[in-house]
Amino acid sequence: MLLCTVRDCRQELLRDGKRLVCAQGHSFDLSRHGYVNLLQPQDRRSRNPGDRVEAVAARRRLHDRGLSQPLLDGISSMMPLAKGSALLDVGCGEGFYTANLATRFETRAWGVDLSTSAIQAAAKRYPECEWLIANADRFLPYATGAFGAVLSITARLHPEEFRRVLRDDGRLLVAVPAPDDLIELRGAGKDRVGRVVEMLEPLFITEDRRCIRTTADLDAEAVRDVQISIYRPMQAEDPRPMRLTFSLDAVLLRPR
Ligand SMILES: [Zn+2]
């Protein structure tokens, strides 16, 4: 299932005790919590705000308050995922959507993210899924046609790789922040979904397109967690209780 990330190797990785090894002899240790780190020296970036431990913790507290439940329900209702069909979540963060969808659809799930702190948090909370630290911008270190569904929630897109790892009858679900996402905190945002469809259209056909939206009354502490968890942290004055909109534009696609 996993492929070697050393330069252009891309050979299958096989389990050997507590390591994964390819035919060329490149090896990767399995962590104590069961995830694998496939990052190469060229993948490490100095400043990735998504990496920060505080952002991961803040996002998890928001999930734990149940704020993401309506978004999860919306995404889940769009996914025609067959029972037992493997799911890949690219840019999975701390694994909330990955693990909850796996439970709902009674399927095996794999999550990949560039952030070590996010994958550590995911592996500790959801040991039933398979977690990987890798740079998905370069290539997805999974076998061709390995997945029945690929998910990308507010993550970077890699259309060719999404298509390669997806089965011919698989489905791709992409969600991006809608223009009114957190509008109370940061004003109206860009309409990104048109660009997403344009990027994916050479390889995929759009089957469904929805806006998944919820509002919630948050106390000051939760507002602060939202500020910490978004990629461009607000240099706002002290957070105060407020009603916030959480909004995703989601598209379901199938391979051409
Ligand atoms: Zn190798």
Contact yes or no for 125/185 (Cβ under 8 A): no
Cα 130 to ligand 1 centroid, rounded to whole Å:
20
Q: Is 154 left (phi over 0), alpha (psi -120 to 50) or beta?
A: left
Residues 53 and 176 reside in one and the same domain: yes
**Ligand 1 center to 202 CA (angstroms):** 31
pLDDT number for residue 100: 97
What percent of the chain is modeled with pLDDT above 90? 80
Measured between alpha carbons, how far is 101 from 209 in angstroms, rounded to an integer?
Answer: 19
- Are 162 and 113 found together in one domain? yes
Tell how far the Cα of 11 is from the centroid of ligand 1, in angstroms. 6
CA of 126 to the centre of ligand 1 (A): 28
Residues 6+ apart with CB under 8 A from 73: none
Evaluate whether 88 touches 142 at the Cβ level (below 8 Å): yes
Low-confidence spans in the chain with pLDDT less than 70: 45-51, 231-237
At 253, the amino acid letter reads L
Distance 213 CA to ligand 1 centre (A): 43
Same domain, 18 and 54: no
Instruction: Check residue 45 and give its pLDDT.
Output: 62
pLDDT at 234: 58
Give the SS3 label for residue 220.
Answer: helix
d(CA 105, CA 78): 12
**CA of 6 relative to ligand 1 center, distance in Å:** 5
Q: What's the number of domains the chain is made of?
A: 2
Q: What is the pLDDT of residue 43?
A: 78
- Give the model's pLDDT for residue 49: 43
25 shares a domain with 45? no
Rounded to two decimals, what is the model's pTM? Answer: 0.94
Cα 1 to averaged position of ligand 1 atoms, centre (Å):
14
CA of 39 to the centre of ligand 1 (A): 13
Same domain, 234 and 124: yes
Residue 81, pLDDT score: 83
pLDDT at position 17? 92
Same domain (yes/no): 133, 116: yes
Indicate if 75 and 26 belong to the same structural domain.
no
pLDDT value at residue 30 = 94
Q: How far is the CA of 186 from the centre of ligand 1 (A)?
A: 44
- Domain with residue 85: its CATH number is 3.40.50.150
Q: Check whether residue 202 and residue 216 sit in a common domain.
A: yes
Q: State whether 154 and 196 are in the same domain.
A: yes
Residues 53, 174, single domain; the answer is yes
Alpha helices in the chain (DSSP H): 53-64, 69-78, 96-105, 116-125, 159-165, 183-186, 193-200, 220-229
Residue-number span of the structural domain to which 180 is assigned: 33-255
Q: How many Å lie between the centroid of ligand 1 and the Cα of residue 160?
A: 21
AA letter at 60? R
24/104 same-domain check: no
Tell me: do 103 and 213 sit in the same domain.
Answer: yes
Give residue 116 CA to ligand 1 midpoint distance, Å.
Answer: 21
Centre of ligand 1 from the C-alpha of residue 149, in Å: 26
